Amino acid sequence: MSKYYTFKIKRYLPDENPKIRWDVFRLKLNSMERVLDGLVKIKETMDGTLTFRKSCAHGVCGSCAMKINGKNRLACQTLVKDLPEKIEIEPLPSLPVIKDLVVDMTLFFQKNDKVLPYLINEEPPPERERIQSPEDQHKILESITCIMCGSCTTSCPVFWTDKEYLGPSALLKAYRFLFDTRDRAIEERLEAVTGEHGVWRCHSIFNCVEVCPKEIDITKHILKLKRLAVKKGFKGGPE
């Protein structure tokens, strides 16, 4: 069953006009189609200048995160039939906009780098690979499913006001390695997440959990990080 939808899109085309404007498009979409299909249709048939990021179109790459009807979500994972007939689309909040719905994610990825997002293990590797038991894998399974779309960090009020805050996504990444039984850099990584702009800035607001397209309970993971830091602190670990 197809239906007409109104797409109201926040536009920013710095080459043409440094002012923000809202454009309205009306288009017919069927109940199987997603917001991303609508955007592609607009770009292909109505206004070629409309700019947005997409790649996989199947909720895996994390590039199509945007604010749809007031909530950060993946355009490729949001069916239009689940939305009202008026659909309002903006870029992710709180990051510099490059053009239309494309934001500059540099800051976001820098935060990710700060938590050393790679396995650190100086022990000589075994003959084949470092084996992880299914139980051990289960401990970090939820955090592994993050696709780094940036929905969580840009929905976080602490990040809105404190741009230095590591943010839910980077903290989740820290969790992913801190609780990986093959990793050996607990101290280093805890050092990285327990600074003034680290875990202590999380006030359990749960905005991140509400928007995460992979339904990760991010706040729970951050709280576990705090607990780990306190435990290590008692044993004389990093402050």
Site string for another protein, 186-215 (x = CB under 8 A): --------x-xx--xx-x------------
Given its phi and psi angles, is residue 92 left (phi above 0), alpha (psi -120 to 50 degrees) or beta?
beta
Contacts of residue 47, defined as CB under 8 A and 6 or more positions apart, other chains included, come to 23, 25
Please state the length of the chain.
Answer: 239
In one-letter notation, the amino acid at residue 22 is W
Residue 215 CB, nearest distance to another protein (Å)? Answer: 27
Residue 66: φ, ψ to 5°: -155, 170
Summarize as ranges the residues that interact with ligand SF4 (CB under 6 A).
Answer: 146-152, 168-169, 172, 211-214, 216, 218
Could you give the maximum distance between any two Cα atoms of the chain, in Å?
A: 63
Residue 158 CB, nearest distance to another protein (Å)? Answer: 6
Contacting another protein (CB under 8 A), which of 5, 25, 52, 165? 165
Report how many helices (DSSP H) and strands (DSSP E) the chain contains, helices first.
9, 7
Q: Which is nearer to ligand SF4, 116 or 208 (CB)?
A: 208
Contacting ligand FES (CB under 6 A), which of 13, 57, 102, 158? 57
Footprint of another protein (CB under 8 A): 158, 161-162, 165, 194, 196-197, 200-201, 203, 226, 229-230, 233, 238-239
